[in-house]
Structure 1
Amino acid sequence: MQSAADDPAPALSRTRSGGLSPRARHAGRPRRSRAHPSATSHDHSGQHRRSDERTVFVKIDTLAVTAGRHPFAYGGTVSPPVDRAATRIFPDLDAITRAHSTGKLSDFLGSRGPDQAAEAVAALEGPEAVVTLTSSGMSALTATFLTVLRQGDHLVLPDSVFGPTREVAENLLARLGITCSYYPPLASAAEFRAVLRPETRLVLTESPGSNTFEVQDIPMIVANAHAAGALVAIDNSWATPVFFRPLDFGIDFSISAATKYLAGHSDLILGTIATRADWAKPVQDMLRLMGDTPGADDAWLLARGLRTLPLRMRQHDASTRRVLAALSGRPSVRRLLHPTQPDCPGHAFWRRDFSGASGLFGLLMDPMPDETLNTFLAALELFKLGYSWGGFESLILPVAPDPARKLLSSPEGTLLRLHVGLEDPDDLIADLDRAFQVLKKD
C-alpha cells in the first residue's frame, strides 16, 4: 500500500446522466438529459458552466474518451496534466469555508487527479455509480468489508474466491468478531439460501471464479441476498464495466483491481469501488481511517489507460477466442476454462449476463512433471511467466486452486493460467505451437 498523506481521503465522483437497462447497457443512443459531469463546460478561468441542454452521450467508447477530462480548466490541454499536490493555500477564511462546503477533500487538500480518474470510471460503471479510488484492488475489497461489516455480522463468499480475499475474511475479519461462510459458486437458489443467516450482512461474488472460472448466477444471488437483508459486492476485475456493469444488476458494490484491465499498461497499482450515493460517504470515511490515498501519478496513468479500455477489451476478447480455437482438440489439452466455452462452468450465465469476455483463462493439461513443465514454459517467447494480468502483454503461470477450498474439488491435471495480451493472435498461436512441439518431443 502506498504511504498516506497527513489527512488522506480517496477520490470520489458520481455520474448524473440517465440510465440504461442491463440488456441495453452498451447500446444507448445520444439523448438530451441532465448533463454528465464530463459534459460540463469550463471557461478559461477554470470555472464550471452548466450545460444541461447539451447532448449526453452514453456509448461506452465515447464515455471512455470524454469522461473526467476538463480541458478548459487547464488551458485547453486535451490530456490534463499530473496534479501533484498536498497542501493548498487560501487568500482568506471565507475561501477555506467555501472549499470545505463542497464536500470534496481535494478542494482544500491533496491532488485533484484522483477525482478526475474516479469520474471517468464512474461514467463507465453506470448512471448511479459513485466511484472511489483506492491504493490497490485488495484495499478496495478490504475497505468494502470494513465499511459494511461490524462485530457479530456474517460474510458469505464463493468457494472459488481469490486466495488473498479468503485470508482477509478468515484472518482480519475474524479478529474483529466477524464470521464467514462459503457457498458453491454454481449454487442453486436453495443451496445459496441455506448458507444465509439472520446475521448475514454482506455477500461477495466473484464471476468468474479465481483460476477455475465458474460464472455465477448473479440475478439469483442478488434477489435472495437482498430478500434476506444482505448487501452484495462483486470483484469485477475480469470483465470490467465494458462487459458487465454490476450496478445494472442490483449489486451494491462493484470492486475492481484497476491495476489490471482498467489501467491496462502494467505500470500502476490501484483499486476502485463503485457504489450508489447512499454508501459513497461511508466508503470514503473508511478509506480515510485506513490512511488509504491513491497517488496523483498513478491516477493520471489510470485516466490515460481508460481512454482505450473498450478498444483493448474487444481486442483481448477477439484474440482470446482465436487462441482458444487453436488450443481446442490438442491431445494433451483436457479442458479450456473460459466462459466463452460451452463446457465452462456457468457458461449459460455468461451468455445471459455478459456482453463479452476478457483474455484470462485456465488451460488444463495432462499431468506434467516439473521438468517437462519447465521445458514447455521455456519454449515460449511471447507468453511470459508473470502474475498480475490485464496489461498489454501475454502471460502464463502454473496455478493450483486454493487448497483452502472447502466445497470444490481440484481439477486433475496440470493447470496453467494464460492471459492473452495485445500481440497479434497469429504470433501467439505460433508461440504456443512451438511449445507444444517441444512437449511432443520431450
Structure 2
Amino acid sequence: MSSRSENLFAQAQQHLVGGVNSAVRAFRSVGGTPVFIRRGEGAWIEDVDGKRYVDYVLSYGPLAIGHAHPEVVEAIADTAARGTSFGAPTELETELAVQVKSLMPGIERLRMVNSGTEACMSAVRLARGYTGRDRVLKFRGNYHGHVDALLVEAGSGVLTLGIPGSPGVPASVTETTLTAPYNDIDAVRQLFAEYGETIAAVLVEPVAGNMNCVPAMPAFLEGLRSLCDDSGALLVFDEVMSGFRAAPGGAQAAYGVTPDLTCLGKVIGGGLPTAALGGRADVMEYLAPTGPVYQAGTLSGNPLAMASGLATLRNLTRPGVHAGAEAWTGRLLAGLEARAEAAGVGLTTTQAGTMFGLFFTDKDEIVGFEDVAGCDADRFKRFFHGMLEAGVYLAPSAFEAGFVSTAHDEAALAHTLDAAERVFAHL
C-alpha cells in the first residue's frame, strides 16, 4: 500500500518542478520518496502518515532552538496581528540589528535581505564596488547560493545532484571567479601572487556546511586575513550556516578572525525567510542610500521574520543554552563513533558548535572536498534509509551538514543511538 507521502509526491510532480521547491528535497541522491512533513515540536517532526522522527535537518539549520518554540510562535503571532508587511521601517529591524552586532565581532553595520543567496550576491557587488576590482576568489565545495558568478565548483545541491556547473551561466560571468582548494593556504598564495591586485574579495565558509561539515583550519583563515590585508581585497565570511551555530558569535568569534563582510541567514530568521549582510562601517556605507552600490528589496526586514529571529537569538544566547546544545552534539557524535567502531564500520565525524558531519571513510581527518568526495556514498545511502526507517531524519545527501537544537534531549539521544546501533549492524 502506498504511503501518503508517496501519493503527495506523485501529485506534487504534476505541478512543481521535480515535485519540490528546492532540489535536494527530491531524494535524487539517496533514492526513494521524500517524506512529507505535517508538524514539528522541539527536536521531533511528524510526517503525513503519523510517523515521528528525531530531526537533524532542522530546516537545514535555522531552527537552533527547535520546532515551534513557544517564544518564537508567540512573537510571530503577536507581530502578525499588527500587520505582516509594510515596505517601511519598523522598530524590530533595529532591535535585531543591535542583537546581531552584540554577538558578531566583524559587524558594525547591517543590511537585512531575504535569503543567504541574496546576502552573498550583495556582498560580491559591494566588494567590487568598494575596491574597484572584478575578481572574486572562492573555494571548491563552498556554496554561496545560486548566484551566477559563484556557482563554480560549488557545494550543496550542485554536489548532491552531480551538476558540475549550470546551463544559463555565461562563461563571461564566471571568468572573473577564481577557485582554490579549501584549507590550502599555499594555493591561495599562488593565486594572490598572480592576480592579487585584481581580487576584490575572498569568499569562504569558515565552517563549510555544503560539502557536509568541514571546519576550516585556524591557520587557513588567519592566512586569508593576512593575504587580504596585504592586497587590499575584502575578506568575506559566508556564515549563513555557521552563524550562531559554530558559536553564538559565529565562526569569526570561535576562530578569532574578523572578516570585512559577513553573510548571515538561517538562524537569523528562526525559521522564517530572512538573511543579512553586515560588516565594517566604511564598507557597508558604500551601499545605497549612503553610497553608490545599489541594493534593495521590498520584503527585506519583514516584521514577522524580524520577530522570529529576535526571539530565537534572545533564547539561544541565554547563559549556558548554546553551550548545552554544543555539549549534547559532542555526546551524539561520540556515541555514533563508538557504535560504528563496534560494528566495524569506518566513520569519521566533525563538529563545529551545533553543526556536525558524518563521513563513511577510514580517514581520520576531513579537510577538503577531495576527502569528502572519497567517502563511501553507497554506505551513506543505506545508513540514511536505515535511520529514516528507524525514526531519525537526516539530510538526504552525503554533502549536507547535520544540525542539533537546544530542544534535543536525553530521549532524542537514546532514540538516535539505539537506531544507529541497529543500522550499523547491517552496514
Deviation at 1:134, TM superposition (A): 1.2
Give the corresponding residue for 1:276: 280
Which of 93, 101, 105 matches 1:114? 93
Which of 224, 232, 252 matches 1:246? 252
Give the corresponding residue for 2:387: 377
Distance across 1 between alignment mates of 2:183 and 2:98: 34
What is the aligned-residue identity percentage?
15
Which of 318, 321, 335 matches 2:327? 318
Give the corresponding residue for 1:220: 223
The one-letter code sitting in structure 1 at the alignment partner of 2:200 is R
Deviation at 1:434, TM superposition (A): 2.2
Q: Which runs of 5+ in 2 are unaligned?
A: 1-74, 152-167, 362-375
Deviation at 1:419, TM superposition (A): 2.1
- Asked if 1:185 is matched to 2:179, the reply is no
Distance across 1 between alignment mates of 2:426 and 2:272: 40
Structure of greater Rg: 1
Give the corresponding residue for 2:346: 334
- Asked if 1:298 is matched to 2:301, the reply is no
Partner-residue secondary structure (3-state), 2:248? helix
Distance across 2 between alignment mates of 1:173 and 1:126: 37
Question: Structure 1 residues 417, 125: CA separation in 2 closer, same or farther (over 3 Å shift)?
Answer: closer
Distance across 2 between alignment mates of 1:199 and 1:426: 54
Distance across 1 between alignment mates of 2:356 and 2:170: 29
Give the corresponding residue for 2:47: none
Deviation at 1:163, TM superposition (A): 6.3
Give the corresponding residue for 1:430: 415
Partner-residue secondary structure (3-state), 1:121? helix
Deviation at 1:114, TM superposition (A): 1.6
Distance across 2 between alignment mates of 1:173 and 1:305: 40
Conserved in 2, the CA contact under 8 Å of 1:137 and 1:255? yes
Distance across 2 between alignment mates of 1:275 and 1:173: 30
Conserved in 1, the CA contact under 8 Å of 2:119 and 2:277? yes
Give matches, 1:73-222, under 5 Å: 84=83, 109-126=88-105, 129-149=108-128, 153-162=134-143, 164=145, 167-170=148-151, 179-188=176-185, 190-196=186-192, 197=195, 198-209=197-208, 210=210, 211-216=212-217, 217-222=220-225
Distance across 2 between alignment mates of 1:310 and 1:338: 23
User: By percentage of residues, which structure has more helix?
Assistant: 2
Q: Which runs of 5+ in 1 are unaligned?
A: 1-76, 88-105, 341-356, 385-395, 402-415
Give the corresponding residue for 1:418: 402
Conserved in 2, the CA contact under 8 Å of 1:269 and 1:298? yes
Deviation at 1:269, TM superposition (A): 1.2
Give the corresponding residue for 2:396: 398
Question: Structure 1 residues 289, 128: CA separation in 2 closer, same or farther (over 3 Å shift)?
Answer: closer
Conserved in 1, the CA contact under 8 Å of 2:116 and 2:263? yes
**RMSD (CA atoms):** 3.5
Distance across 2 between alignment mates of 1:114 and 1:362: 37
Q: Which has the higher contact order (CA 8 A, sep 6+)?
A: 2
Distance across 1 between alignment mates of 2:397 and 2:108: 34
Question: Structure 1 residues 85, 168: CA separation in 2 closer, same or farther (over 3 Å shift)?
Answer: same
Distance across 1 between alignment mates of 2:377 and 2:326: 28
Conserved in 2, the CA contact under 8 Å of 1:155 and 1:181? yes
Deviation at 1:373, TM superposition (A): 4.4
Distance across 1 between alignment mates of 2:381 and 2:115: 35
TM-score by length of 1: 0.58
Aligned residues: 298
TM-score by length of 2: 0.60
Question: Structure 1 residues 113, 166: CA separation in 2 closer, same or farther (over 3 Å shift)?
Answer: closer
Question: Structure 1 residues 284, 309: CA separation in 2 closer, same or farther (over 3 Å shift)?
Answer: farther
Question: Structure 1 residues 372, 221: CA separation in 2 closer, same or farther (over 3 Å shift)?
Answer: closer
Distance across 2 between alignment mates of 1:364 and 1:117: 40
Question: Structure 1 residues 325, 246: CA separation in 2 closer, same or farther (over 3 Å shift)?
Answer: closer
Deviation at 1:167, TM superposition (A): 4.8
Distance across 1 between alignment mates of 2:334 and 2:121: 38
Distance across 1 between alignment mates of 2:380 and 2:326: 31
